[in-house]
Structure 1
Amino acid sequence: MAKDRVKRRLAAIMATDIVGYSRLIEIDEMDTLGSIKRLQASIFRPTISTHGGQIMKLMGDGALVMFNSAVDAVNCGVSLQNDITLDQRQISPDRRMIFRIGINLADVVVEGNDLFGDGVNIAARLEALAQPGGICISDTVQRQLAGKSGLAFEDGGEVSLKNIARPVRVWHWMDSPTVGPASLPITDRPSIAVLPFEDLNGRPDETFFSDGITEDIITGLARFRSLSVIAANSSFNFRGKPTSLKEIGRQLGVAFIVEGSIRRVDQRIRVTAQLIEAATGSHLWAERFDRSLTDVFAVQDEVAKMIVSTLVGRIEEVKFQQSLRKPTVSLAAYEYYLRGVAHLRGYADDDNQQACHMLEAAVERDPRFALAYAYLALSRVALHGYADAPAEVLDDAFAIARKAVALDGQESVCHRLLALVCVFRREFDIAERHFRRAYQLNPNDANGLVQMGGLLARRGRLDEGLEWINEGMRLNPFPPSWYEAALANVLYLLERYDEAALALSELPNPGPYTHARLAACYAQAHRLSEAHSEVALVLRERPNFSTADFLKRVVVLECPDHRELLRQGLLKAGLPE
């Protein structure tokens, strides 16, 4: 048989793939394969044919398709996604077929019924970058669409693709305006809608409570200026309508949805809440709150505050993890900011250095990004040992944090981080003023409550400080580990040494100064063998450690009596004077 002649030509290449194919096969292999064959026959082949495409290769979970026109390829991709979405609506979410599509325009080699070349590889890499149910195209394709398509693609910047020498600028499309109402753009900030909580008792006269909870959550979330929160009149519009969460997310242009329910039995009430990623339907967090109904409005306020604080923590964690999975090539200012904060919360040896680099990149790309400046100030201090940082570093951080407040005086986090820098500068009055301003702007910020409590403890107001810390820990049931450090400090000063030691032992990757504090706790609690073990760890890492130097450079306590109490514990443990 004669060999097919090798041909080279310019073509638009589409690569498709099924999201979670291996999981679907594991659940039910025969059903999955049958569904793929049905979709290929009923949607893929006729749609591709209608748009002038040629299927070059069919694989178990995807296809490689060639078009003469980039416009035809994109229109076909949109039609495929719309048709598949409609087809899968009646299927259980865990069994749905969801596709990713990548499209590139390039010179390719056609050999029989197969395609070769970098252009094909790029299409496959673009498919992997597409959102579930979305399309990712190269810049060469986007340029072909100018003036020929009403579709809106979002600029994804330049990305490095595996085994491709040069970065490729990519564009993203998600959901079509032809299916239902037009979708709103998802903002750079995490966007969220709170659906009206369902009253499971079905009493029309008691919807005031479920609606009150919902509106309180919306109001509380709106205080976090890092979030984009849909107003109640928009989210309440979906009450009682059989609309999928993905469709609600598309219509409202949000990445996250909160839904919940309320059930009342006698004088007990149960509130459930869950956080869902709109595009995938994935449940990110769920919690149940059981309360006595002694004061209905007090319960409403308490539960709403707890839900708000927890939601913010879960959303931030999701966004931080997403940012770390993205390549660092040409990230926008907001993505650099997310990555910087994620590093700042980490415990790797170079995390503080990486945080500085990322936050510097953020403010370089957006010189008016207040939050990025605020966290840059904190990262500079963290890199140099917090309170142990040289005076010039603290002065520089103070100037940066003040700039953040000047850029956005209504952002509570900017005031909070400026206050924290002031704590390390031993400027306690200024720190307390800005912590209180942060609280006025956002009383739902658990981090602010704990840091305020920490400051009050440093100032000698121990009982008041402990109240603030306990309230912050109550509002945030999944706290970062530094909460334990703040708690340990006030517990030690209250002479509750065993509890202080327990809190310090929760800290990951403790350094020599944490071991020194632990040694003091154990010594004051008369657990001398444990104290001596901690002393050995301190001296192994800091052979020249001295109690006087530690108290002067590192410890931030306003009251002389409290400094003396810590000094006694360190010396009793056996650390050098």
Structure 2
Amino acid sequence: MDRKLAAILAADVVGYTSLMEQDEQGTFERLRAGRKELFEPEIARHHGRIFKLMGDGLLAEFASVVDAVECAVALQRGLADRNASSPDDEHINVRIGVNLGEVIVEGDDFYGEGVNIAARLEQMAEPGGVYVSGKVAKEVEKKLSFRFEPMGEHRLKNMDEPVPVFRIKLVGGSKIRPHRRRGTSYGLRAAAASAALITAAGGAWLYFDLFATPASTGVPSIAVLAFDNMSDDPNLDYFSDGVSEDIIAGLARSPDLSVIARNSSFTYKGKPTDVRKIGEDLNVSYVLEGSVRKEADRVRIVAQLINTKTGAHVWAERFDQSGNNPMALQDAVTEKIVGALASETGQIKRSWYGEAWSKNAASLEEYDYYLRGHDKLLQYTPETTQEASRITAEGMAKFPDSALLKFNMGFINYVRGVNGWSQDPQEDLRKVVELARQGMANHNLSPLERKLGHWLLAYSNLVERNFNNAMREAEAATALAPNDAFMRAVLADAAIAAGDTEQAVAWTNFGMRNDPANREFYSYLQGWALTTAERYQESVEVMKELADSFATIPLTKAINAVHLGDLDEARKNVTAALELDPSWTAEKWRTVTFVDDKVLNRQANDLIKAGLPEK
């Protein structure tokens, strides 16, 4: 593994989805012109190289930190000049972060903390701003004419030590301040350090993803208001604001949501709030509000999600956490709130399913078909999976080029195939591979589509028994939506197949912590990971409270019992599995279980020994 020191520049377009929704063709042309006339030439002129495109952003590397900072300012000045000569509703604004640090080199790509810090600095920056780390400011402060305004030390997500943060100011103290329109969604973007790099044949860029075609419309939008400080000490406002900001950052990492930036939602702080009026002002579907009470080593946060159209409360919950580290308290509670709201099984998705079902069939759009089909799929029975297939097929007939619906049909086929819920499971699994490739062939994928695409590619590679590739795709998917507890937990299957038991355990623990409604399923996945790793007693402990809700649970228990010398218990579990689903045989186990052949054959033989029919 090669490492090097590099200056990393991270940038993303502010309000990209809203711009495209308002004027798709005009926005696309302006962004394409900006790419050709400003971004690519400036980065090249400053001896930089774009090495990754993702969603609405980019990452570039520079051998010189001075070049990186000068390029960042040149880009913001160039955009400000372009905006000055165009109408307000045609302005393009960008945020930029710059860091100097060690990176891991893999081919033409870079990974590691040096990249992650740059991306998180970019998330903190205001539209038109440039934020840099303390290392960058110290290195260039006497070499450039820019002033650096200290923004304090920030404990960035997954960083052990706080990072000093500085904001670049121009000579004379004037900060770049581009025009900003009310109602634009300033979505924050997480650093997708393992996202796939999209290139055209021969190595040329197919599209600068920063200036790609629009994301799928219809994703729910949300504004997080500043949480009220209910503590006895009014000086603890910083803590309640920090909780709100963390929730904004966490939700913004979900490709399934459009999240209003702090600058807009915090304008209502301390004022009487009419949720319907906020929804109208900010053009959002939901508002999250709440309160924070901190006393000594204990914090209580109450949060409630409100539909801005009806004023109805969609969800409310109280979260309690104890500990001596205020940052750890804040992280633990906000992680739970984000998990409850933003995952595949979260409250916002559940509410949106209801919205889709309330619509007349004749008026359904692409996203509505996806929601309806996905809602049925998550109910996870043969009947609801068949209904999901029917709904999604109907949508594909209406929207034949939809990557979103192709991916959803791929998931449907995967669930049917691995459970044997159709006449031809092998054909179902073949279609998983086909649909994943068809969907990813679309080069104008929305953030949601890209997340689903990498997730389905992980399953596709499992089917083809390319386990290391499956793990890479799973990592790409989780990088694009790191707070999706459901997706991360179920992708433990890829980690198990790749032999990474510790990652599988970590992902299932994350699911159990942040999506407790599905704790039983995640416990089974963790037990399965331990069984595959031959840690049979640990698996028994994890699974001992699990009911036999589907056949693979008692079959896994049977494998454990065989290796722990309790053949009677193993036979009892196989009998229970066959009562749930008589179609199970050792041959079926070999067909739909995706692990190393040596492990697979051992498990099949264990099950035969416990009484499972061979064919």
Is 1:371 aligned to residue 413 of structure 2?
A: no
Mapped to 2, the partners of 1:541 and 1:262 lie a distance apart of 47
Q: Secondary structure at the match of 1:319?
A: helix
Q: Name the amino acid aligned to 1:453.
A: A
Q: Name the amino acid aligned to 1:311.
A: L
Is 1:434 aligned to residue 473 of structure 2?
A: yes
Which residue in 2 is equivalent to 1:505? Answer: 547
Residues 31-430 of structure 1 aligned to structure 2 (within 5 Å): 188-201=218-231, 203-312=233-342, 313-366=346-399, 369-385=402-418, 388-390=425-427, 392-403=430-441, 407-408=445-446, 411-430=450-469
CA deviation string 1:2-33 (max 9, x = no partner):
xxxxxxxxxxxxxxxxxxxxxxxxxxxxxxxx
Which residue in 2 is equivalent to 1:488? Answer: 527
Mapped to 2, the partners of 1:439 and 1:380 lie a distance apart of 21
Distance 1:292 1:485, change over 3 A: closer
Mapped to 2, the partners of 1:365 and 1:445 lie a distance apart of 29
Mapped to 1, the partners of 2:395 and 2:274 lie a distance apart of 36
CA RMSD after TM alignment: 3.3
Distance 1:276 1:523, change over 3 A: farther
CA drift of 1:241 comes to: 1.4
Query: Which structure 1 residue ranges, 5 or more long, are not aligned?
Result: 1-181
Which residue in 2 is equivalent to 1:455? Answer: 494
Query: Which structure 2 residue ranges, 5 or more long, are not aligned?
Result: 1-181, 186-216
Q: Secondary structure at the match of 1:407?
A: coil
What TM-score, normalized to structure 1?
0.60
Mapped to 2, the partners of 1:204 and 1:542 lie a distance apart of 60
Q: Is the 8 A contact 1:422 1:431 kept in 2?
A: yes
Distance 1:539 1:466, change over 3 A: closer
Q: Is the 8 A contact 1:197 1:259 kept in 2?
A: yes
CA deviation string 1:133-158 (max 9, x = no partner):
xxxxxxxxxxxxxxxxxxxxxxxxxx
CA drift of 1:348 comes to: 4.0
Q: Secondary structure at the match of 1:426?
A: coil
Which residue in 1 is equivalent to 2:205? Answer: none
Q: Is the 8 A contact 2:291 2:302 kept in 1?
A: yes
CA deviation string 1:286-318 (max 9, x = no partner):
233333453322332332222111112011112
Mapped to 2, the partners of 1:299 and 1:559 lie a distance apart of 44
CA drift of 1:524 comes to: 5.0
Mapped to 1, the partners of 2:371 and 2:516 lie a distance apart of 22
Which residue in 1 is equivalent to 2:137? Answer: none
Mapped to 2, the partners of 1:542 and 1:274 lie a distance apart of 41
Higher-Rg member (1/2) = 1
Is 1:566 aligned to residue 603 of structure 2?
A: yes
Distance 1:433 1:460, change over 3 A: closer
Which residue in 2 is equivalent to 1:40? Answer: none
State the aligned residue count: 390
Q: Is the 8 A contact 1:193 1:229 kept in 2?
A: yes
Q: Name the amino acid aligned to 2:490.
A: Q
CA drift of 1:198 comes to: 0.8
CA deviation string 1:202-256 (max 9, x = no partner):
6454322221211221122122222122222221111111122233233333232
CA deviation string 1:262-308 (max 9, x = no partner):
11212322222222223344333223333345332233233222211
CA drift of 1:518 comes to: 4.3
Mapped to 1, the partners of 2:231 and 2:515 lie a distance apart of 29
Distance 1:406 1:482, change over 3 A: farther
What TM-score, normalized to structure 2?
0.57
Higher relative contact order (CA 8 A, sep 6+): 2
Which residue in 2 is equivalent to 1:171? Answer: none
Q: Is the 8 A contact 1:489 1:500 kept in 2?
A: no
CA drift of 1:366 comes to: 4.2
CA drift of 1:553 comes to: 0.7
Q: Is the 8 A contact 1:276 1:282 kept in 2?
A: yes
Percent identity, please: 32
Q: Secondary structure at the match of 1:271?
A: strand
